[in-house]
Amino acid sequence: MARFASSPSPSHSIWGSIIMAEEFLPGLWVVTTASHGGIMLSAPRQAAMPEALRLGTANYEEDCDWALPVLAFRDEFEAARPDRASWLQLAFDTVRCWHPDRYEAFTGDAVPENASRVLRQRAAYLAVIGKYCVTAAWGDWADWVPKGKTGVVACKVLSVDHLGNATYGEERRYALVDKQTYSERDEVFCLDDHEHKLIEMPEEFRPTKRIG
């Protein structure tokens, strides 16, 4: 097992001013800010990250990316931080769900689609490329949406990236769909696959004309 030197406490972070910082392992700091946080690695730690788990930055945010260095240095965590044993299983689960390609490359274990939201979303968008899918919706509380309907904006899906994020065309279509049908939607809701009524752009979305 490689040995790493302790590193100075970070003085700042990409998430804002640091409120608390704790060196969980030498060169591996867990930091907290007023709005976010995550794990910050020293240069030697970042260089030692397995290629499959290493990001292009030494900052691993607290929602999903934190699990990458925990998984990478899991043997050290097990030996040095038995009080954080629950982190290890959570790290495996988090990487499997949110970084399935990295998980498979690192462990050699294929991730089933139902175990990863990223894989489910990626598959869903790949299946609807070229269709107009909803990007925003309003309930019948909105002035322009009749009772029992949901007002939506839809754009054409052009592509999808490895994280399951779709790229859309610029054209927007406004429509009304059945409220109950929309509430029972899957990962993606496409106008092409459901009964809908196209409408003009609602007045509240039109640019305000300036006088003078």
pLDDT for 146 = 96
Domain boundary among 111, 144, 164: 111
Q: Residue 175: which domain range?
A: 123-205
Q: Where are the beta strands (DSSP E) in 85-164?
A: 132-138, 149-160
Q: Give the position of tokens 């700042």.
A: 12
Asked if residue 10 is part of any domain, the answer here is no
Q: Which of 55, 85, 111 is the last residue of a domain?
A: 111
Find how far residue 59's CA is from the centre of its chain.
16
How would you list the strands of the sheet with 28-33, edge to edge?
A: 18-25, 28-33, 37-41, 59-61
Pairing mode, if any, of strands 59-61 and 37-41? Answer: antiparallel
Residue 194: inside a domain: yes
Q: How many domains does the chain have?
A: 2
Provide the pLDDT for residue 77. 87
In which band, very low, low, confident or very high, does the pLDDT at 129 lie, cut at 50, 70 and 90? very high
Residue 127 sits in the same domain as residue 201:
yes
57 with 91, same domain: the answer is yes
CB 18 within 8 A of CB 8: no
Q: Is the pLDDT of residue 38 over 80?
A: yes
Q: Which two tokens stand for residue 115?
A: 């175990």
Q: Distance between CA 149 and CA 117 in Å, rounded?
A: 28
pLDDT tens for residues 132-176? 999 999 999 999 999 999 999 999 999 999 889 999 999 999 999
Q: What share of the chain has pLDDT > 90, as a percent?
A: 83
What pLDDT digit, counting tens, does each position of 175-203 carry? 999 999 999 998 899 999 999 999 999 98
What does the block give as tokens for 143?
């002035």
- pTM of the entire structure? 0.77
The confidence band for 208, taking pLDDT boundaries of 50, 70 and 90, is low
Q: Are 17 and 31 spatial neighbours (Cβ–Cβ below 8 Å)?
A: no
Element (H, E) at 71: helix 67-72
Assign 3-state DSSP to the chain and report helix, strand, coil percentages, each to 5. Answer: 30, 25, 40
Provide the CA 34 distance to its chain's centre, in angstroms: 20
Gap between the Cα atoms of 133 and 198, Å rounded? 13
In a domain, 174, yes or no: yes
The answer to whether residues 100 and 133 belong to one domain is no
